[in-house]
């Protein structure tokens, strides 16, 4: 199999005689980042919903890559995801630096809204999981106002432990959404989805980080100028100075890419 493409892992009720479609990817330290643009990404996820094909979407960034390289369990969770999109500007830069550029940055916040927009046309249902109760309630209300034809079939905060996992999973299963958006702690969000995605029975499951906080009005999204300059991370740091420790991974990632340029896209054994 070519390093430049991977098959979509079809599960659920997809037709058995259907050939596995492939997506172009660029491996960044072994993690396959999609090279599709936003339009093709939305098209693929629309197909996942129509085929009821289990698809975990990770909106990947350099912090997550560095975390994965230091934590084998986190690496495996990312590696097993059906789709990793290049959310972080650093990933977009790294792909171009090693000569395998992605089509464009696919920001998780924008992807969420693109899916909600298509959901309006197709009458999809959505479940929101994560953040605080106050924020999730406000985010649900605002999303429902903005996309009235999308059915928000449930929501709950992200403050629960392992003992409550079964209850949370069962609630989502009973709601039977087309899309599950999850916003939990950085070290828990993707592993939680990976651990439960088969039993959840949801076609598209996507970690959305701080998107609910922005939707609810608790945080502001970076102005267009910051986005164009690839400085959204800096704008977020200004709003949340306590994130500075996590941000230290950004220069470490850049240095690692520069130093290991010849090896960035080579297959890496799972840590």
pLDDT digits (tens, 9 = 90+) for 148-196: 999 999 999 999 999 999 999 999 999 999 999 999 988 899 999 999 9
Task: Give the position of tokens 């197709």.
Answer: 122
> Which pLDDT score, from 0 to 100, does residue 70 have?
95
In angstroms, the CA 225 to CA 161 distance is 39
Stretch 235-252: mean pLDDT: 75
Contacts with 246 (C-beta within 8 Å, 6 or more apart), sequence order: 63, 186
pTM: 0.87
Does 13 score more than 50 pLDDT?
A: no
Inter-CA distances, 155 with 141, 191, 267, Å: 11, 20, 39
Inter-CA distances, 268 with 3, 38, 48, 75, 264, Å: 12, 27, 28, 11, 9
Does 5 score more than 60 pLDDT?
A: no
Residue 271 banded pLDDT, cuts 50, 70, 90 = low
Residue-wise pLDDT tens digits, 31-42:
999 999 999 999
> Which pLDDT score, from 0 to 100, does residue 227 have?
76
Count of CB atoms situated within 10 Å of the CB of 221? 19
Alpha helices, H only, the chain: 38-51, 62-70, 72-79, 89-97, 108-122, 133-146, 165-175, 189-200, 211-215, 224-228, 232-239, 244-247, 249-259
In angstroms, the CA 166 to CA 176 distance is 15
Residue-wise pLDDT tens digits, 197-237:
999 999 999 999 999 999 999 987 777 777 776 777 676 77
């Amino acid at each position: 199999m070519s390093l430049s493409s991977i098959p979509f892992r079809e599960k659920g009720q997809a037709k058995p005689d259907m050939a596995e479609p492939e997506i172009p990817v660029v491996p960044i330290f072994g993690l396959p980042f999609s090279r599709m643009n936003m339009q093709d990404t939305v098209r693929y996820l629309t197909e996942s919903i129509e085929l009821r094909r289990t698809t975990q979407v990770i909106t990947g960034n350099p912090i997550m890559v560095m975390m994965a390289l230091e934590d084998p369990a986190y690496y495996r969770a990312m590696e097993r995801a059906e789709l990793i999109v290049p959310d972080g500007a650093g990933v977009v830069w790294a792909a171009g630096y090693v000569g395998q550029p992605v089509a464009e940055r696919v920001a998780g916040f924008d992807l969420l809204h693109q899916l909600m927009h298509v959901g309006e046309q197709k009458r999809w249902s959505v479940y929101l999981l994560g953040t605080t109760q106050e924020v999730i309630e406000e985010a649900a209300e605002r999303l429902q106002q903005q996309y009235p034809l999308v059915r928000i079939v449930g929501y709950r905060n992200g403050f629960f432990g392992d003992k409550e996992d079964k209850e949370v999973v069962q609630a989502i299963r009973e709601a039977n959404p087309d899309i599950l958006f999850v916003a939990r702690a950085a070290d828990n969000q993707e592993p939680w989805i990976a651990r439960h995605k088969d039993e959840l029975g949801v076609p598209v499951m996507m970690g959305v980080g701080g998107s609910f906080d922005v939707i609810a009005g608790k945080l502001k999204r970076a102005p267009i100028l910051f986005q164009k300059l690839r400085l959204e991370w800096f704008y977020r740091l200004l709003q949340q100075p306590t994130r500075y420790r996590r941000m230290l991974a950004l220069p470490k990632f850049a240095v690692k890419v520069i130093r290991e340029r010849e090896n960035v896209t080579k297959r890496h054994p799972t840590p």
